[in-house]
């Protein structure tokens, strides 16, 4: 018999995965080219060829025992140094390798950080809409996720509401920038004001409140938009980064956690993240990927490809009459459902072989998430189907 804690998770297996399965079913019925599956955030841009080359070179050139061996649980020293140097070059920070822990993607990193800081009954505050796994990650440590309701006009964080929702039990505020599912970027001014709220609440309650910034989409920012680097504005900030999207490596499970030296208890916090990573069973981040990063730390994905998709889909959908905030980052559009019940809208879309995910999967009903990390051709071919869908709701009258 499975545990009581797991039962609801098994029963409510993620709506995104259900959609993915539905996509495969429809493709079997109508042919893959006639199904427009916008349900999954799986990058369609291939990993840069230099990354594949570096993996091959590591295998050919480096000592096999080292490449496939255990290393310090925090990661290879030269990999952590490469990460720290890259951050310092790009963001004017002062990291050294001791401040960096290599982890298994953002999911592994978030779990290690949450395990490191949470006691049962503690609270983590986040802003709706958010990546729903946050709820499970926080529950893993018998803590509670508290949601700040969304501002559905801008999808920027409501800082007055945040202030009211921080309590004695709040250990951390968790943000995701650029944001999944809205594609919105929280600008520097917002982060500065958020930091002021957190400092004030830290003084009130007499303990640290960490700002955890989940950043798998950091490099996916368009039209020159800047993603502020949180440790520059708040010292109790922890950055959780992943190469899943920035180098199209989601299956390889590689990322890092950065803890600035002036965070409270920085040394024991970093140590706790390393040990959490170990006792959670990850032990260390995948070795081959760490070796690759020493050679490829500043490689970039084909941002143009995502940007082309973003423009095509945003323009196509808004011309049909759909409403959505123009995304500045990530690879998602968060579109207002023309009916209050967005599940109904998802069902209607399915009849046109269009698949997307209901906003309730991101704690924000009344919207749907459309992932445009698909081929440009899929988007082009989907537009007539979107037009018919809009006609059904009399949007383009
Ligand atoms: N956080 C957010 C907001 C995500 O969208 C995802 C994946 O889609 C993750 C974390 C997990 O990323 P990773 O594959 O690096 O574990």
Ligand 1 mutation pick, 110, 244, 248, max ligand atoms within 8 A of CB: 244
Give the pLDDT band of residue 69 (cuts 50, 70, 90): very high
pLDDT of amino acid 280: 98
What spacing in Å lies between the alpha carbon of 334 and ligand 1's midpoint?
17
Query: Measured between alpha carbons, how far is residue 60 from residues 54, 139, 252, 288, 290 in Å?
Result: 10, 43, 19, 12, 15
Residue found by looking up tokens 């401040």 in the block: 99
What spacing in Å lies between the alpha carbon of 136 and ligand 1's midpoint?
13
H or E segment to which residue 379 belongs: helix 376-392
**DSSP E strands, 128-207:** 144-148, 170-176
Residue pLDDT, tens place only, 264-301: 999 999 999 999 999 999 999 999 999 999 999 999 99
List the structure tokens of 388.
């018919």
Ligand 1 mutation pick, 178, 180, 255, 285, max ligand atoms within 8 A of CB: 180
Quick one: average pLDDT of 216-229? 98
Which atom of ligand 1 lies nearest, measured to the CA of 250? Answer: 14
Judge whether 192 and 233 are in contact, CB under 8 Å: yes
Phi/psi at 353 (nearest 5 deg)?
A: 60, 30
What spacing in Å lies between the alpha carbon of 95 and ligand 1's midpoint?
24
Quick one: average pLDDT of 38-60? 96
What spacing in Å lies between the alpha carbon of 180 and ligand 1's midpoint?
9
Residue pLDDT, tens place only, 103-137: 999 999 999 999 999 999 999 999 999 999 999 99
What spacing in Å lies between the alpha carbon of 20 and ligand 1's midpoint?
16
Cβ neighbours for 136, distance < 8 A, ≥ 6 positions apart: 9
Give the pLDDT band of residue 33 (cuts 50, 70, 90): confident
pLDDT of amino acid 95: 98
Which residue's C-alpha comes closest to atom 5 of ligand 1?
180
Give the pLDDT band of residue 12 (cuts 50, 70, 90): confident
pLDDT of 396 higher than 80: no
Cβ neighbours for 62, distance < 8 A, ≥ 6 positions apart: 291
Residue pLDDT, tens place only, 193-220: 999 999 999 999 999 999 999 999 999 9
What spacing in Å lies between the alpha carbon of 65 and ligand 1's midpoint?
31
Q: What is the rounded CA–CA span in Å between residue 70 and residue 110? A: 22
Q: What is the rounded CA–CA span in Å between residue 129 and residue 219? A: 21
pLDDT of 94 higher than 90: yes
Would you give the DSSP letter of residue 230? G
Q: What is the rounded CA–CA span in Å between residue 157 and residue 155? A: 6
What spacing in Å lies between the alpha carbon of 368 and ligand 1's midpoint?
18
Preceding amide of 366 cis, omega within 30: no
Ligand 1 mutation pick, 39, 42, 107, 218, max ligand atoms within 8 A of CB: 107
Which residue's C-alpha comes closest to atom 12 of ligand 1?
106
List the structure tokens of 255.
């990322």
What spacing in Å lies between the alpha carbon of 391 and ligand 1's midpoint?
34
Q: What is the rounded CA–CA span in Å between residue 85 and residue 370? A: 35
| CA 338 to mean position of chain CA atoms | 27
Q: What is the rounded CA–CA span in Å between residue 268 and residue 270? A: 5
Judge whether 227 and 177 are in contact, CB under 8 Å: yes
Tell me what the pLDDT averaged over the chain comes to: 96
Quick one: average pLDDT of 297-311? 97
Which atom of ligand 1 lies nearest, measured to the CA of 176? Answer: 3
Q: What is the rounded CA–CA span in Å between residue 125 and residue 167? A: 10
Handedness of CA 275, 109, 270, 206 (dihedral sign): negative
Which atom of ligand 1 lies nearest, measured to the CA of 243? Answer: 15
What spacing in Å lies between the alpha carbon of 204 and ligand 1's midpoint?
33
What spacing in Å lies between the alpha carbon of 364 and ligand 1's midpoint?
18
Which atom of ligand 1 lies nearest, measured to the CA of 131? Answer: 3
What spacing in Å lies between the alpha carbon of 232 and ligand 1's midpoint?
23
Residue found by looking up tokens 């209607």 in the block: 348
Preceding amide of 296 cis, omega within 30: no
Ligand 1 mutation pick, 44, 242, 301, max ligand atoms within 8 A of CB: 242
CA angle 326, 331, 336 (to 5 degrees): 45
Q: Which residues line ligand 1 (CB under 6 A)?
A: 41, 105-107, 131, 176, 180, 214, 216, 242, 244, 250, 255
Which residue's C-alpha comes closest to atom 2 of ligand 1?
131
């Amino acid at each position: 018999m499975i545990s009581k804690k797991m039962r609801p998770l098994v029963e409510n297996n993620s709506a995104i995965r259900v959609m993915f399965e539905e996509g495969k079913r429809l493709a079997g019925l109508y042919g893959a080219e006639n199904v427009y599956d916008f349900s999954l955030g799986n990058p369609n841009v291939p990993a840069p060829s230099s990354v594949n080359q570096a993996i091959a070179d590591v295998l050919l050139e480096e000592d096999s025992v080292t490449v496939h061996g255990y290393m310090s649980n925090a990661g290879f020293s030269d990999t952590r140094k490469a990460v720290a140097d890259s951050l310092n070059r790009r963001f004017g920070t002062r990291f050294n390798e001791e401040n960096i822990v290599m982890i298994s993607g953002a999911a592994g990193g978030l779990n290690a950080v949450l395990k490191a800081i949470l006691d049962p009954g503690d609270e983590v505050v986040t802003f709706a809409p958010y990546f729903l796994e946050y709820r499970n990650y926080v529950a893993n440590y018998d803590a509670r996720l508290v949601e700040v309701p969304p501002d559905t006009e801008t999808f920027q964080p409501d800082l007055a509401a945040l202030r009211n929702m921080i309590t004695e039990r709040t250990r951390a505020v968790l943000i995701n920038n650029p944001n999944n599912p809205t594609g919105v970027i929280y600008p520097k001014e917002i982060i500065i004001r958020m930091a002021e709220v957190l400092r004030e609440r830290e003084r009130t309650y007499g303990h640290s409140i960490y700002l955890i910034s989940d950043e798998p989409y950091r490099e996916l920012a368009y039209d020159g938009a800047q993603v502020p680097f949180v440790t520059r504005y708040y010292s109790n900030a922890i950055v959780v980064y992943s190469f899943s999207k920035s180098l199209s490596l989601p299956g390889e499970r590689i990322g890092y956690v950065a803890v600035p030296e002036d965070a409270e208890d920085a040394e024991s916090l970093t140590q706790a993240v390393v040990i959490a990573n170990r006792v959670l069973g990850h032990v260390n981040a995948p070795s081959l990927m760490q070796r690759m990063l020493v050679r490829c730390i500043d490689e970039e994905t084909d941002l143009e490809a995502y940007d082309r998709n973003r423009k095509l889909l945003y323009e196509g959908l808004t011309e049909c009459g759909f409403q959505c905030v123009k995304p500045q980052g990530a690879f998602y559009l968060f579109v207002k459902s023309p009916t209050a019940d967005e599940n109904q809208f998802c069902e209607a879309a399915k009849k046109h072989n269009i698949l997307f995910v209901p906003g309730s999967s991101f704690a924000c009903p009344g919207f749907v998430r459309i992932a445009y990390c698909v081929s440009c051709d899929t988007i082009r071919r989907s537009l007539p189907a979107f037009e018919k869908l809009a006609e059904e709701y009399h949007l383009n009258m």
